[in-house]
Chains A and B, each alone.
Chain A
């Protein structure tokens, strides 16, 4: 594998030569390498698409990625639901939780980020340290005591335990992401706002939030995807199948000893991925930049 800037021996390594250098051989190798990686990464995705159109007995036995004779029975059988619960219930529940989470995270995290970035209050340093500490804290330490708390409050089998934290800015990653963005905004803006008599609330709502749109969008999409994919939270807190999310619906398939309706399970797995894939296709730039920022400024 050649490294970033390899030049033929003896060539004067100046920028112009590097860009003009004939590089067909290198280019072909490069694309070949990239395509091999792509093929390996895409295999499971193509497999699930192909599998969802295969009859039950062909899914595991056959090595062909695409069905010999595509059938739609898996999708038609999905319409029957799982254990008498229509699939749409699971999707509705997941959608409700995901959208509810997005609203909570965007509001509460941006408030905290604004305070850290723009308000010089006493104790800011201490709170900031605590927040960074929670960034590294394994969630599982809180699992048992949080469950005990919600059990005492009689909130088991409701969505409150799954949503409350989102409205209380407990995911420090998003506070941090927004904070980094706000720090990059020009200072003159909020100084001008202050001279015009804007309080912090006005400055936050009318000036900083609109300017932070990219960071808000990144946080919103990550939150949606995390909530959509979440498995442990719903597994612990929900115990009535009518309240189950898509993840738990899929788990019901797995538990049912999937052989009988293997195709249905594969079809639902694919459908469950679609919202995430759609978000990715629409907003990949925001997601990748958000990821990159977290590493550079971390």
Chain B
């Protein structure tokens, strides 16, 4: 099996070489003579630990924690990058909530997350179930289905998407054949969002690979026992497969939802007609509007307030998911 990266299952407890006592509490090198003085040893470990961690700590303070604090401050100021920030209290938030374009961006993002994520995960799970049968060509299909995940976020594919979904192109003609009203999705502010949804579904390969890894871990005996009891395929899926892969499902739902909230590049390019995220704000996703306010209109304070609303929304969704997992995610005994 593919264990190139998968860490080996926890190795059996190591039997220590004879003569070396196993002192409880100080695992590595505990029996070594130099390690006898705990304070000296602990100090050396601390020094080494913080030396190794220093790039990460510098990055965390300089590029994550510091900016977060700054951003929280900017959110309550009027700041155009050149004049000093001016404290304006909650004005950014009142302006934001009263701005119809902001509400549009919330709606567009909401639709994108609510439609795109379940469709993508359903496709991922469905194809993973199909691929989970051991048949010839399985490895090839898995690799081929995964590939779009690597290129899907690129500008190239966004350009291709514009072309395929535009008036008179493949998707439009296909709709005409089915007798549906045609006219391309790219020029239509109401339908362009579905081109974006199609693009995210096209990238179902990444969660599919994760589902497949989860499916491989479901013990065969469970299915065999269920078959003896005469359980239908649907019941086997519902009562065995789904509970057994629920941790992986949870992981995928969490990750894909958080990612969906942050879509930017594809939305920017697909809708771009001289201006970002057009036409008529059809793909004005939240981050696009944040970009416009911050970098095109130099409203750094307002954009910071918008960013904090995004963080709040993502945090809320994450919290709800974690809270809900008690009800539907089953961890194996001792698996965590």
Q: Which A residues are within 8 Å of any B CB, using their own CB?
A: 1-7, 13-15, 27, 30-31, 33-34, 37-38, 41-44, 47-48, 51, 59-61, 63, 108, 111-112, 114-115, 118-122, 124, 127, 130-131, 134, 136-149, 151, 164-165, 167-170, 175, 177, 180-181, 183-184, 186-188, 190-191, 194-195, 199-201, 204, 214-215, 218, 225, 228-229, 231-232, 235-236, 246-247, 250-251, 253-255, 257, 265-266, 268-270, 272-273, 276-277, 280, 284-298
Q: Mark B202-217, 1 if CB is under 8 A from A, else 0.
A: 1000110111111101
> Are B274 and A257 neighbours in the complex by a CB distance under 8 Å?
yes
A239 and B2 alpha carbons, distance in the complex (Å): 44
Chain B residues with CB below 8 A from A250, complex form:
155-156, 159
A255 to chain B, nearest CB (A): 7
Answer whether residue B237 sits at the interface, using C-beta atoms and an 8 A cutoff.
yes
Partner among A38, A112, A164, A228 whose Cβ is within 8 Å of the Cβ of B141: A38
CA distance A6 to B232 in the complex (A): 9
Chain B residues with Cβ below 8 Å from A63 are: 170, 173
Tell me if A's interface is mostly helix, strand, loop or mixed.
helix
C-alpha gap A277/B58 in the complex (Å): 34
A175 touches B135 (CB 8 A): no
On B, residues with C-beta under 8 Å from A are 2-8, 11, 14, 26-29, 32, 42, 45-46, 48-50, 52-53, 55-60, 62-64, 66-68, 70-71, 74, 81, 126-127, 129-133, 135, 137, 141-148, 150-151, 153-157, 159-161, 163-164, 166, 168-170, 173, 202, 206-207, 209-215, 217, 220, 223-224, 227-228, 233, 236-237, 241, 248, 251-252, 254-255, 258, 261-262, 264-265, 268-269, 272, 274, 287, 290-291, 294-295, 300, 303-304, 307-308, 310-311, 314, 318
Say how far B73's CB is from chain A's closest CB, in angstroms.
9
* CB-based contact B71/A141 at 8 Å: yes
Write out the residue numbers on chain B whose beta carbons fall within 8 Å of the beta carbon of A280: 147, 150
Docked Cα-Cα span, A195 to B24, in Å, equals: 18
Q: Which residues of A contact B66 (CB under 8 A)?
A: 145, 149
Q: Are A120 and B45 in contact (CB under 8 A)?
A: yes
Known A-B contacts A5-B223, A112-B53; the reply to A181 vs B28 at CB < 8 A is: no
Residues of B contacting A235 in the complex (Cβ-Cβ under 8 angstroms):
268, 291
| B210 close to A138 (CB less than 8 A) | no
Q: Roughly how many angstroms separate A187 CA and B20 CA in the complex, as a whole number?
A: 15
Contact residue among B146, B233, B258 (Cβ-Cβ distance under 8 Å from A6): B233
Would you call the interface of chain B mostly helix, strand, loop, or mixed? helix
Instruction: Check A5 against B131 for contact (C-beta < 8 Å).
Output: no
Please tell me if the beta carbons of B227 and A5 are within 8 angstroms of each other in the complex: yes
Asked if residues A142 and B233 are in contact (CB atoms below 8 Å), the reply is no
Collect the chain A residues with CB atoms within 8 Å of residue B248's CB: 295-296
Closest to B305 in A: A144
A138/B314 in contact, CB under 8 A = yes
- Going nearest first, the 4 A-B pairs with the smallest beta carbon separation are A121-B49, A184-B7, A168-B59, A295-B210
Given A4-B132, A5-B223, 9 other A-B contacts at CB below 8 A? A7-B227, A38-B145, A121-B49, A122-B42, A140-B290, A141-B310, A144-B74, A175-B56, A265-B159
How many whole Å from B300's CB to the nearest CB in chain A?
5
A296 touches B217 (CB 8 A): yes
Determine if B264 and A136 form an interchain contact, defined as CB atoms under 8 angstroms apart: no
Q: Which residue of A lies closest to B69 (CB)?
A: A145
Do A145 and B74 touch (CB < 8 A)?
Answer: yes
Residue of B nearest to A104 (CB): B55
List, in ascending order, chain A residues with CB within 8 A of B295's CB.
Answer: 147, 236
Verify B264–A142 contact, CB threshold 8 A: no
Chain B residues with CB under 8 A of A43: 164, 170
With a cutoff of 8 Å between Cβ atoms, the chain A residues found around residue B294 in the complex are 143-144, 147
A86 to chain B, nearest CB (A): 19
Q: Which residue of A lies closest to B46 (CB)?
A: A121
Chain B minimum-CB-distance residue to A194: B29
Which residues does chain A contribute within 8 Å of B153, judged by CB atoms?
229, 231
Q: Contact partner of A287 among B132, B146, B148, CB < 8 A? A: B146
Chain A residue with minimal CB distance to B57? A127
Q: Name which residue of chain B comes closest to A116, CB basis.
A: B53
Offer 19 A-B interface pairs, CB within 8 angstroms, sorted by A. A3-B236, A37-B141, A37-B145, A41-B202, A43-B170, A47-B160, A47-B170, A108-B59, A111-B56, A119-B49, A120-B26, A121-B53, A148-B300, A247-B265, A251-B269, A273-B156, A286-B4, A288-B209, A293-B5
Q: Is A142's CB under 8 angstroms from B68's CB?
A: yes
A43→B262 CA distance, assembly (Å): 26
Q: Is the CB of B169 within 8 A of A60?
A: yes
Residues from chain A with a CB closer than 8 A to the CB of B224 are 5, 13-15
Q: Which residues of chain B have C-beta atoms less than 8 A from A1's C-beta?
A: 126, 129-130
Q: Report chain A residues within 8 Å CB of B164.
A: 43-44, 47
**Nearest A-chain residue to B313, judged by Cβ:** A138
For residue A236, which residues in chain B have a CB less than 8 angstroms away from its CB? 291, 295
Which residues on B sit within 8 Å (CB–CB) of A247?
154-155, 265
B128 to chain A, nearest CB (A): 10
Residue of A30, A118, A131, A287 touching B130 (CB-CB under 8 A): A30
A137 contacts B64, C-beta separation under 8 Å = yes
